[in-house]
Amino acid sequence: MEYRQLGASGLFVPVLSFGTATFGGQGDFFKAWGNTQVEEATRLVDLCLDAGVNLFDTADVYSTGASEEILGKAIAGKRDKVLISTKATFTFGEAPNNQGSSRLHLLKQCESSLKRLNTDHIDIYHMHGFDGNTPVEETLRTLDDLVQSGKVRYIACSNFSGWHLMKSLAISEKYGWNRYIAHQVYYSLVNREYEWELMPLGINQNVGAFVWSPLAGGRLGGKYGRNKPKPTEGRVVEGGSPVPQAVVSEETFYNITDALEEIAEETGKSVAQVSLNWLLHRPTVSSIIIGARNEEQLKQNLEAVGWNLTIDQIKKLDAASDVPTIYPYWHQRQNLTLNPLPKFY
């Protein structure tokens, strides 16, 4: 397993990390992801550790806390061997203060996550989304207090826009508070908007990327293709995909799967493994969050590392997945001497 330094920190993380949204299976949305309980979760954790995957990602809202509870039991006796990433911000309960990144909500959710995980600290604490109602200063001061208290080691964000992240970094610098060292983002061959602004920001400010849904909500798992019948079961069909259908152009999607199938045949790897390996070559990517409903899926995903696509294969995938940008990015790309693209090759 390869390990990469995470942003502007001294922490090293594996290039593959394990997402536990499949743990618990509570509610229609997460039930479509999976229904892993403690016994199987423990086996999956052990398989990950054997492969060098020591980072486990969860969130308070995953199955209304059940994912954290199951993960806490699955890592019992192994806490010193693992890194735990969890999140807060999204709605957890009915009262008006049971959402957001206010001091009240974050302190409550952090304490609850620690209890569910059965641990005294969280290694990486993410803001699951940006809270436009709470002053950024309130959020960051609270997070800094959590780090100072020892309950949180590092802070990160997720699903921020460019100005959300840049404003947060500027305020942390202004007051000397702990800053976001990572940004958990959606990024895949199907949707490469992350490259337009968030990737250049990550390069400039040294913010590492955790990639969620690297297989586009299951669409790049190998079941879908131009000449394949559409699946009648699975997470996408059951409404459990976190990536809306509307953001995926059908023709572009099939161009991508055509290229993936060709390269999979060339390399002797699966479509999913090629899709994951492509992400490992992208600037700022520190770790890809893989999920699995069962041991076989996990073993397959773990084989995405230990080998590399060629530059020509990467360029073929880039060409197949290229789409027009929106303003102001198409305007900026008219003069690449002023606005150079990230160095992909």
Q: Please pick, among 62, 187, 194, 224, the residue that the annotation labels catalytic.
A: 62
| Tokens 């959590």 sit on residue | 146
Alpha-carbon span 208 to 199, nearest angstrom: 9
Q: How far apart are the first and last CA of the chain?
A: 22
Beta bridge partners of 161: none
Alpha-carbon span 325 to 143, nearest angstrom: 35
Give phi and psi for 209, each to the nearest 5: -110, 130
DSSP 295-316: HHHHHHHHTTSSS---HHHHHH
Token duo for residue 274: 């090629």
Token duo for residue 8: 């502007």
β-strands 3-5, 12-14 pairing = antiparallel
**Known catalytic residue at 186:** no
Burial of 91 (0-12, 13-18, 19+ CB in 10 A): exposed
- Are the beta carbons of 20 and 41 closer than 8 angstroms? yes
- Helical pair 38-50 and 66-74, crossing angle rounded to 10 deg: 60
Token duo for residue 201: 């920001």
Cα separation values, 313 from 189, 219, 306, 341, Å: 13, 20, 16, 20
Per-residue DSSP letter, 195: G
| Tokens 């002053």 sit on residue | 135
| Tokens 């993936």 sit on residue | 260
Alpha-carbon span 215 to 281, nearest angstrom: 15
Active site residues: 62
